[in-house]
Amino acid sequence: MKDLVAYITSGYPDKNFSIDLALTLAQNGVDTLELGIPFSDPVADGPAIEKANQRSLEAGFKFKDLLEISEQIAPKVDTLWMGYFNSFYQQNMDLLLPKAKEIGLKGFIIPDLPHEALVLMKKLPKKK
């Protein structure tokens, strides 16, 4: 059997809607949810996601909103963060990775991750 994966832009149209939508998707068969991190220059995304990013940012989306959304949904559906490397890098990866694990995040999708950053991430200490 194959998994059903859905994508939503975090904070669009607002944080509470994102949480409600994510939980509704989980209750209706979605196995994995990709939470898109709004970015001001989403060069690899299509027009619909670009507009959702722009509207989320215009409404005041901050990275802390992603954390709050994820804390509500990750215990109920496998959750991945999808975004551009800059969004992750600005958060201090040494702090972000343990926080993501604590929340219960299943992983990241970072399409523009530079090889050098991947090498550094692999060198981070592993928790036992």
Q: 69-88, pLDDT tens digit by residue? A: 999 999 999 999 999 999 99
| CATH homologous superfamily for the domain 5-122 | Aldolase class I (3.20.20.70)
pLDDT score recorded for residue 25? 98
The pLDDT of residue 121 is above 80: no
Out of 34, 50, 68, 71, pick the active-site residue. 34
pLDDT score recorded for residue 15? 96
Spans of all domains in the chain: 5-122
With a pLDDT cut of 70, the percent of the chain lying above it is 90
Burial group, residue 111, by CB count within 10 angstroms (0-12, 13-18, 19+)? exposed
Active site residue 58: no
Strands, sheet with 78-82, edge to edge from the N-terminal-most edge strand: 5-9, 32-36, 78-82, 107-109
What would the mean pLDDT of 40-44 be, rounded to a whole number? 75
Label the pairing between strands 78-82 and 32-36. Answer: parallel
Active site residue 116: no
